[in-house]
Amino acid sequence: MSVPVVESNEKKFAEDVVRNKMPVIVNFYSDDCPPCEALAPLFERLAEKYGKHMKFVRILRQQNRTLAERLGVKSSPTVMFYRNGEEVCQRLTGYITNPELRRSIEDVLGDSCPKTERQRYDCDALVLGAGPAGLTAAIYLARAKINTVVIDQGLPGGQVATTFHISNYPGTNGTVRGADLMRNMTDQAMSFGAAIDSLREVREIDLTGEMKHVKTEDADYYARCVIIATGAEPRKLPAEGEREFRGRGVHYCAACDGALYQDRRLVVVGGGNSAVEEAVFLTRYALHVTVVHQLDHFQASGVAQDELRKNPVIDVIWESEVRKIQGDHSVNSVLLENLKTKKTTTLSAEGIFVYIGLEPRSEPFKGIVDLNELGYVVTNEDLSTNIPGVFAAGDIRDKQIRQVATAVGDGAIAGMMAEKYLAEIKSRH
């Protein structure tokens, strides 16, 4: 019988958390928050695994604002850890991954952490990553009656599952929620027979030879071909104080945390579509928005730039970067450096929203497959890598455009080419 997640509040906080004899993990969440929605099933799955050793508690922040303010909770979601009534370990905020959440839990539990028995899985095609590229590849492979397994370090959907609205995906009625789109893709892949193993962290990889071996924390996967579709994640702001103020003024999702800043002054860092579009979005709440960009021009689309320029509460500081984030319990200003003059200035701000690109999730593949200088996987036109039987698709791949539609296109190509590769090696035996 699984251990349930406890729904708590300000009145029950002392009983559920502070006076509890077990270690406690607390998830402060909000409604209409894509990262909160993505974290919820992960939180429940981890409660099933660790619930006999740690109490799992959820608190709706909008209904417990006084408690959240007293604890300095300024972002959704915020995960905190308690032992013997005292907060321990570093808080986790924003887009929280399974590996960082699991590591924090096991750090708190120490020697009492439960051990699991290793399992073995054999398949024809192994897809690493359950975002739009990986799920599309799985749809094509499974529909072709190929034994296909998809593994992901989190839950199916990738970044798209945490995107509030997608308005440019073909065939949808204007806009579609990212979570709904990815749920449909997941259901479709499974309906054709693909197996999806979530919450699996890749530890070791051996792609040499005809049988590929991927080792996770508690399982071994053997496959004749592998598709790498692990995607990318938002690049963190390389400024002093970013980690300390993450969730307490530093954010990476305007849809999640913008409503916290009613009538406040905000900074948006970046110059692409995301930065420009989110700066306009934040004016629904903010008194004033300043966009800080390292170049003297935007890289965003003309339509997005026109929307920004027409907005009277947005201004832009060009050719500058954030060097330091300053404040006490929360952010109150940023230190900017002009890249031409090298002069520094202090800009008052109570929140910073960062959109400075993506970083590929390619760490497990370094020294195994060819990567470019930025860490993206290099492929041929057929999406094959330098290793026979290994393909790459989606945001992890070295390419110019990264959209849901292009990820799906990559997945289709990778799935079909993997099917062709499997047919060829079968004909040789």
**Residue numbers annotated as active site:** 253, 256-257
Q: What is the Cα–Cα distance from 423 to 403, expressed in whole angstroms?
A: 30
Output the CA torsion sign for 37, 39, 42, 46.
negative
- Residues with Cβ < 8 Å from 191, sequence gap 6 or more? none
DSSP 259-289: GGGTT-EEEEE--SHHHHHHHHHHTTT-SEE
CA distances from 300 to 160, 268, 270, 271, 293 (A): 20, 14, 10, 6, 12
Q: Is the peptide bond before 114 cis (omega within 30 degrees of 0)?
A: no
Q: Amino acid identity, residue 23? A: P
Q: What is the Cα–Cα distance from 81 to 88, expressed in whole angstroms?
A: 6
CB-count burial class (<10 Å; 0-12, 13-18, 19+) for 343: exposed
Three-state DSSP at 327 gives strand
Q: For the chain, what is the radius of gyration of the CA atoms?
A: 23
